Every structure is written in C-alpha cells, then in structure tokens.
Amino acid sequence: MEKHIVQGRDTASAGVIGRPLDRSDGPQKVRGLATYGHEHVPERRPAHGYILGAGIARGVLTAIDTAAAEAAPGVIHVMTHRNAPAQPAFGGPTVPEVPQVFTRPRPVLAGDTVHYHDQPVALVVAESFEEARAAAGLIRCTYRREPGSFSLHGGLANAYRPERANAGMATDSVIGDLDAAMASAAVTLDSTYETAFGSHNPLEPHAAVAEWQGDRLTLYTATQTLANVRAGLAATLRIPADNIRVISPFIGGGFGAKLIVHAETVLAALAARAIGRPVKVALTRQQMFANAGHRPAMVQRMRIAAGRDGRLTGFGHDVIASTARIEEFAEQAAATGRALYAAPNRRTTHRLVRLDTHRGEWMRAPGEAPGLIAIECAMDELAEKLGLDPVELRVLNEPARDPERSVPFSTRNLVACLREGAKRFGWDDLPRRPGSRREGRKLIGYGMAAAIRANYLGATSVRVSLDARGMVSVQTDMTDIGTGTYTILGQVAAERLGVPVSAIRVELGDSDLPRSAGSGGSWGATSTATALHNACAALRNKLLTAARDHERSPLRGLDLGAARLERAALIVNRRSEPLSRLVAAIAPGGLSAEGSAQRGETYTAFSQHAYGAHFAEVSVDLDTGEPRLRRMLGVFAAGKLLNSKTARSQMIGGMIWGVGAALTEETVLDPRHGHFVNHDLGDYHVPCHVDVPNVEAVFLDEHDDKANPFGAKGIGELGNCGASAAVANAVYNATGIRVRSLPITLDKLLPGLPVA
C-alpha cells in the first residue's frame, strides 16, 4: 500500500512554532503527487459506480425499470432498494446522545420512500465512469408524488422547538425579563433578518474507493474525521469498526461537508462487496448540493433594548431555521450572542421548520456565521438610532464575565481588535452618514462588525517516534483538509524535540494510526498540537530514562535533570550527544511514545472564544445597483499562532466566505419541486478574484493559558464570523438602504437607489 508521508523542508527547530513556514505538503500538491480520495489505486482493478438521484422530493418510488441499464455496455451491477443488502433502519430525526449524529447508521437504497430530491435511488456499477453514467440515464423510475414542504416562510407558523441545538447547546436561554426591558427602554430595536441556504462547495467532491479483503474493508475517501466515517460505516454495514480501515491523507477542502459518512461511501462499500471487486464512487458537483449538506435558511428576529447612553438593557435573538423532516439539524445561530455583549435581560431561542430536503450540515462556523449576520447588523442599526459610533457601541457593552454563564473569560481581546482595526482602517475619519460619499457613479460605504467564535478541544492521540537516524515521525489519524496540519505538526515536533523541521515526517489520515478528533469545529490544530506536545514530552522522558540507564548509553549514570534537546542532540552540561548516535546505542529499533489531549477543568471553568473585528469598504453602482467589495480588514485575537502564514490564509479564506454570504452566495430551493436549482459553480456564485480585492488579516499578540500548552485557539472558522455583517453594514452606509435579507443582490437595492 502506498505510504503518504509529508516531510518538512525547513532547517529551523528552536522557536519555529508560529513562524510562517511554507506548507510542507505544497510540493507534493503542485506536482500532482498528493493522492486524493478518488485517485487512490486499490490492489485490484476498480469498477466505477454512478448514483442516480430521485427526480421527486417526496413520495414513493413505485417502479424502477433497470433492464436497459443492466444490458448496457460495461455494466456489472445495478443496485436499487430491491436488491441492496439489508441495512439497519435509519431511525428518527434525532438521536438520544449528541455524538451519535456522527456514528448512527446511514442506510442508502434502503426502501422505496423518497425523502428529498436527488436522494439516491440506484447505483450503476460499470467498467468505466462513462458507462455507468450513461447506463444510469437508461433507468426509468415511476413515482407516486406526495406534496412536500419546501418553503421556510411557508412553515414559520408551525415552527417547533427542538430538544437542543447543534453541539448539544441549550435550545433557549432566558435571563431576566426581555419583554419588560423592551417596554421600558429609551431606545429599542426590533428587526428581522433573513439568511439563505448556503452550500459548502469544497473543490474536491465527495468520493470513496472501497476494497474488501474477506470481511475487512479498506476505504479510501475524502473526510475531515476518519473516526466518524469508520463508525458510521460500521453501523451501516453492521460490521465491527476494527474491520474498516479508512485512508484519507489529502483532502480538497471540507468546510464541514465531510464530517459524516455520505451516500457515495456507503454505496461504494456495498457495491464492492456485492461484486467482489473494488468500487469507486464520487458525487458529481450537482449531487453534492442535495447529498452532502447545506447551511439551513433562517429568519432571525433581533430585539435589543438600550439606554440613551448606549448600554444594553435587553438582548433578544429568536432564530427560526429550516431543518429536514428526515433528520434534525438545529444550527445554533442564537447561541452566538450568549457570550457577546453585556445586558441584564436576555432571551435566545431556536425554532425549526421541517422541510422535505436532506439534512443540513455543519457549514464553516455553524451558528456564528448566520447568527452574527443578525446580531451585528442589528447593532449597526442600533448605533445609528443612538447616534453612536458602531465601534463605541460595542466597546460600551463589553462584559466583564461571560454574560450568560457567569464564568470568567479565558482571554478576551475584542475591544483591542476593534480599536486596532479602527486605527488601521482609518475608521474614525470615515463618513458615518449613509449615502454621503460618491466617486463618479459609485456610492462608497464603510461598515464594521465584531467576530466571536467558540474555542473547542476534541479528544486526540498522537504517536511520535524517533529512529536511529535521528528522524522523527508523527502519526495520527488527523486530517489536513488544506489548512496546514502537516506543516504545523512538523513545527511543533521540531521545537519540542529540538530537531530541524526537515527531520520530521508527518503521517496523517489513516485509521490505523492513533485516533484524533479530526478537522472540525476549528479544533483540529490545537487538539492535535496539544496531543503531540504531550507525546513529545513522553518521548523525551523515555529517551532520558534510557540514556541514563541503558548499559550502552554514552551518558549512562549521568544526572539528566538539566538535559536539553537541541540541534538534534541531547545536551547535558557541556556534552552534546547527537540523537542519532544516542538512539542507535540505546534503542536501535527506535523509541516511540503517545500523547493525548482532552478537555480539562479550564474548558468549562472559563468562557473560551476567539475574537475579531471586521472593517469593509464597498461600492454600489448608482446605475445598476451592483454591490462590490473594495477592501476589507480583519483584526483577530486567537491566542498564539502555530504558523502565521497558514493562520493568515485561514482568516482571509474565511473573510471571503463572509463576502460571499453577504453578496453572492445563495442556494435556491425550488418551492414546487424541492430541488436546489442552482446546483453548480456556474450558478452558485462563490466570489471570484475580482470580487475580493484587497482582503487583509492581522492578528494581535495573545496567549491563552487556559486553552492549551501553546496558548493557541481555533481559527479555521473565525474569519467568516461577522464578516458578512461588516459588508452588509457597508452597503447600508453606502446607500442608506438597509437590506435585511442576505445575500444583498442588486435587485434588492435597485428600488431604493436615487433616480439620478
């Protein structure tokens, strides 16, 4: 089996954590040597599967005629609900325990009921992808259509209260009396914001290559979290998880769309077993829209009460979001504000409207990304009502402790981000009066918003080994989804073991390796780095003990209490023993140790978040209403950085996501047919380069000693928290038109633009 190892190239070791090293996997990627899910070559020649999706969104598949497909050239097998192997029932829309959402069985082709448009109804397996696809086109399906619900607005009156929100968050929070605060406040704001369905659209589509050896399955795939795929697949196939090996060394983006097992993976495994040959299945770009998650659409009501001085007396956030009838997903948008601003009277709620779509999934910054659109646009509106600078309004309402949990913050530098951002952006000199700045036929406007994102840690183990040549290997089933995991783990090991980065080989994405929490919730880097830190400490102990005790050790019997690992050597007093020589003498087979990370006391005793402030400048064409970003600055405080280059890339990427959600990105659900209409990258408008000129991200120095030994916090999702609101507020400042339904497309601005 091919080994996927990424070796560092830098010679630095001491002080290398945080340095802007280039990505160590870069050369492999640009030379096409990094093997992605669908590209893996199994031991035997694989067959290709193509999924046929349902042409209706709700009803029954009353007949399916596969004769022509079965007779088509190259076809090996056609699987439908009639001949698919038995799988456990999916179960109800919710699971008893939060983590079970990641591990529950996800049967495919399990019956004749159609729950959502493009739900798989057949898998055609053929010698080539083209033959499978062409044969799928020959299958004739007959449906009995049932009326479905495809409109969030249509269901608002029947919204229900979920048991809990995503990640186990409380559905509601009530402190004090918001209604009373609203009734008695000098200034109030009550406005409603709408956010659209969104689609992750990682560049690499979901794909799986399944190969069985007896009752053991090897699965090459593209996933953020190997353990989830393994558990979900084991439950679906009813085999022990230990019988499944998942391999996913390189991933072309995930953004939360690759956290759980999806249809292509289940079908590849089922089909490979059925035909006794490896099978490759990938979702097409179009199929990803229905089958691999989306961000729910939301209607969010903000109620804020304030005194004349701008201090909030009430903060209310009521979210109604779409969910799927088949499986609940309650994106925690209303949880966002629970730690953001001080206010004695508070109320946050989540309600859901059942639609006949597939389930929503965790899309980059679930909760915060849509939640901050409502909160931070509302704060902008309130600032105007109060005649206050929006930056000052936020500073005024800075809480001393977590306003709902009443625990201290671990570190909180929101105010510093606001101040630094305002200074760098030149905020204080900019016009606050809406619609007051013109350049030729463009209206120019400026907006800002705060960012907050919860800091998580997930249980993770890492093994680190040192061999007799002085080479270090770092092993875990963690993933690098394009974020820089390979690189930062090399930096951490180099610094902790005193060897150059170029002596570190990192091996990820193989479930035979120690289990990690994977890439999700922005916790991957810090959880894995912490486990690696502990593994390095354990390895160091082993090394020192052996160096002191081993009969062939040149350092035998010395007091190694003050020993240091530096320049690839163990240094004690004035003696320097190269690691390679030392290990060769005392452990010719090498030394290895494991370390782990788990949530400790500080995890709950403190309110842990990363913060930031976004500032945006936009233009709106006076004639056509086209809104375009001109420049954007984000200032962030997220603890210590593990690599300032990959960190900056994360922030810029996140900010661009925010621009997309503000101006261009919307997945359109057809209200009659229940399908996502614009299901490709031609019609789903991700910002292109000219849409995002001049996006800059800056970090403040911060060290969070409550978070982990590095003082680092998660950053993968911070960039798109608040970014959309800053852009939306800038559009308002440019035009004086407050669009409360995002994305802000030109048709929403046209009616309000001046005639001349």
Partner 1 sequence: MQPFTYERATGLREAAAAVAGRPDAKFISGGTNLIDLMKLGIERPGHLVDISRLPLAGIADAADGGLTIGAQVRNSDLAADMRVRRRYPVLAQALLAGASGQLRNKATTAGNLLQRTRCPYFYNPAMACNKREPGSGCSALGGFERSLGILGTSEHCAAVHPSDMAVAMAALDARIETTGPDGGTRSLALGELHRLPGETPAIETALAPGEMITAVTLPPPPSGRQLYRKVRDRASYAFALVSVAVVVEGDAAGIRSARLAFGGIAPKPWRARAAEAALTAGPAGEAGWRAAADAELAGARQGAQIDFKHELLRRTLRHALTETTRPG
Torsion angles phi and psi, residue 700, rounded to 5: -85, 150
Residue 631 binds to partner 1 (criterion: CB under 8 A): no
Q: Which residues contact 313 (CB under 8 A, 6 or more apart)?
A: 181, 184, 185, 305, 306, 307, 343, 344, 345
- Residue of 18, 37, 120, 687 that binds partner 1 (CB under 8 A): 687
Q: How far is the CB of 690 from partner 1 (least distance, A)?
A: 4
- Residue number with CB closer to partner 1 (143 or 315): 143
Q: How far is the CB of 441 from partner 1 (least distance, A)?
A: 7
Q: How far is the CB of 647 from partner 1 (least distance, A)?
A: 27
Q: What CA–CA distance (Å, rounded) separates 725 from 374?
A: 8
Count residues binding partner 1 (CB under 8 A): 46
Q: How far is the CB of 137 from partner 1 (least distance, A)?
A: 5
Q: How far is the CB of 373 from partner 1 (least distance, A)?
A: 19
- Residue of 624, 694, 705, 752 that binds partner 1 (CB under 8 A): 624
Annotated catalytic residue: which of 211, 381, 617, 717? 717
Which stretch, 182-190, 351-359, 483-491, 739-747, contacts partner 1 (CB under 8 A)?
739-747
502: which DSSP letter? G
Inter-residue contact 51 to 125 (CB < 8 Å): no
The b-or-e profile of 483-506 (16+ CB within 10 A means b, else e) is bbbbbbbbbbbbbbbbbbbbbbbb
E-state strands within 429-481:
438-439, 442-454, 460-466, 472-475
717 is catalytic: yes
Strand duo 120-126 + 173-175: pairing: unpaired
Residue 683 binds to partner 1 (criterion: CB under 8 A): yes
The full 3-state SS of 240-276, as one line of letters, equals: CHHHEEEECCECCCCCCCCCCCCHHHHHHHHHHHHHC
Q: How many Cβ atoms are within 10 Å of 607's Cβ, its own excluded?
A: 22
Residue 626 binds to partner 1 (criterion: CB under 8 A): yes
Q: How far is the CB of 625 from partner 1 (least distance, A)?
A: 7
- Residue number with CB closer to partner 1 (81 or 673): 673
Residue 747 binds to partner 1 (criterion: CB under 8 A): yes
The b-or-e profile of 211-241 (16+ CB within 10 A means b, else e) is bbeeeebbbbbbbbbbbbbbbbbbbbbebeb
Q: How far is the CB of 676 from partner 1 (least distance, A)?
A: 10
- Number of helices and strands in the chain (H, E): 19, 29
- Residue of 32, 214, 561, 751 that binds partner 1 (CB under 8 A): 751
- Residue number with CB closer to partner 1 (332 or 619): 619
- The shares of helix, strand and coil residues in the chain, as percent rounded to the nearest 5, are 30, 25, 45
Residue 134 binds to partner 1 (criterion: CB under 8 A): yes
Strand duo 298-306 + 187-195: pairing: antiparallel
Which stretch, 59-67, 101-109, 405-413, 620-628, contacts partner 1 (CB under 8 A)?
620-628
Which stretch, 95-103, 567-575, 617-625, 643-651, contacts partner 1 (CB under 8 A)?
617-625
Q: What CA–CA distance (Å, rounded) separates 328 from 321?
A: 11
Q: What CA–CA distance (Å, rounded) separates 204 from 481?
A: 10
Looking at the DSSP assignment, which residues form a beta bridge with residue 304?
A: 189, 315
Q: How far is the CB of 622 from partner 1 (least distance, A)?
A: 8
Q: Prior bond to 743 cis, omega within 30?
A: yes
Residue 55 binds to partner 1 (criterion: CB under 8 A): yes
Q: What CA–CA distance (Å, rounded) separates 355 from 150?
A: 5
Q: Which residues contact 689 (CB under 8 A, 6 or more apart)?
A: none
Q: How many Cβ atoms are within 10 Å of 603's Cβ, its own excluded?
A: 16
Which stretch, 179-187, 544-552, 685-693, 703-711, contacts partner 1 (CB under 8 A)?
685-693
Which stretch, 387-395, 473-481, 618-626, 637-645, contacts partner 1 (CB under 8 A)?
618-626
Residue 60 binds to partner 1 (criterion: CB under 8 A): no
- Residue of 625, 654, 714, 719 that binds partner 1 (CB under 8 A): 625
3-class DSSP state for residue 742? strand
Half-sphere CA count of 525, side-chain side, radius 13 A: 33
Q: How far is the CB of 267 from partner 1 (least distance, A)?
A: 19
Contact track, partner 1, 102-121, x by CB under 8 A: ---------------xx---
- Residue of 43, 680, 701, 705 that binds partner 1 (CB under 8 A): 680
- Residue of 130, 190, 309, 398 that binds partner 1 (CB under 8 A): 130
Q: What CA–CA distance (Å, rounded) separates 659 from 447?
A: 12
Q: How many Cβ atoms are within 10 Å of 30's Cβ, its own excluded?
A: 10
- By CB under 8 A, the residues from 415 to 454 that bind partner 1 are 441
Torsion angles phi and psi, residue 355, rounded to 5: -120, 160
Measure CA of the first residue to CA of the last residue in the chain; give whole Å: 68
Inter-residue contact 711 to 702 (CB < 8 Å): yes
Residue 73 binds to partner 1 (criterion: CB under 8 A): yes
Residue 137 binds to partner 1 (criterion: CB under 8 A): yes
Strand duo 627-637 + 695-699: pairing: parallel
Residue 562 binds to partner 1 (criterion: CB under 8 A): no
- Residue of 29, 401, 628, 630 that binds partner 1 (CB under 8 A): 628
- Residue number with CB closer to partner 1 (53 or 445): 53
Residue 630 binds to partner 1 (criterion: CB under 8 A): no
- Residue number with CB closer to partner 1 (285 or 385): 285
Contact track, partner 1, 236-275, x by CB under 8 A: ----------------------------------------
Q: How far is the CB of 747 from partner 1 (least distance, A)?
A: 4
Q: How far is the CB of 678 from partner 1 (least distance, A)?
A: 6
Q: How far is the CB of 139 from partner 1 (least distance, A)?
A: 12
Inter-residue contact 324 to 350 (CB < 8 Å): no
- Residue number with CB closer to partner 1 (53 or 518): 53
- Residue number with CB closer to partner 1 (22 or 691): 691
Q: In what order do the strands lie in the sheet with 216-221?
A: 75-80, 120-126, 47-53, 279-282, 207-213, 216-221, 244-247
Contact track, partner 1, 650-679, x by CB under 8 A: -------------xx---x-xxxx-x-xxx
Residue 146 binds to partner 1 (criterion: CB under 8 A): no
Q: How far is the CB of 658 from partner 1 (least distance, A)?
A: 15
Contact track, partner 1, 280-309, x by CB under 8 A: ------x-----------------------
Q: If you count them, how many residues does the chain have? A: 756
Residue 689 binds to partner 1 (criterion: CB under 8 A): yes
- Residue of 128, 436, 604, 644 that binds partner 1 (CB under 8 A): 128
Q: What CA–CA distance (Å, rounded) separates 283 from 264?
A: 6
Q: What CA–CA distance (Å, rounded) separates 305 from 343?
A: 9
- Residue of 8, 46, 49, 53 that binds partner 1 (CB under 8 A): 53
- Residue number with CB closer to partner 1 (390 or 435): 435
Q: Where does residue 541 rank: exposed (0-12), middle (13-18), buried (19+ CB within 10 A)?
A: exposed
- Residue number with CB closer to partner 1 (60 or 746): 746
Catalytic residue positions? 717
- The binding site for partner 1 (CB under 8 A) comprises 53, 55, 73-74, 117-118, 128, 130-131, 133-135, 137, 286, 441, 623-626, 628, 663-664, 668, 670-673, 675, 677-680, 682-683, 685, 687-691, 745-747, 750-751, 756
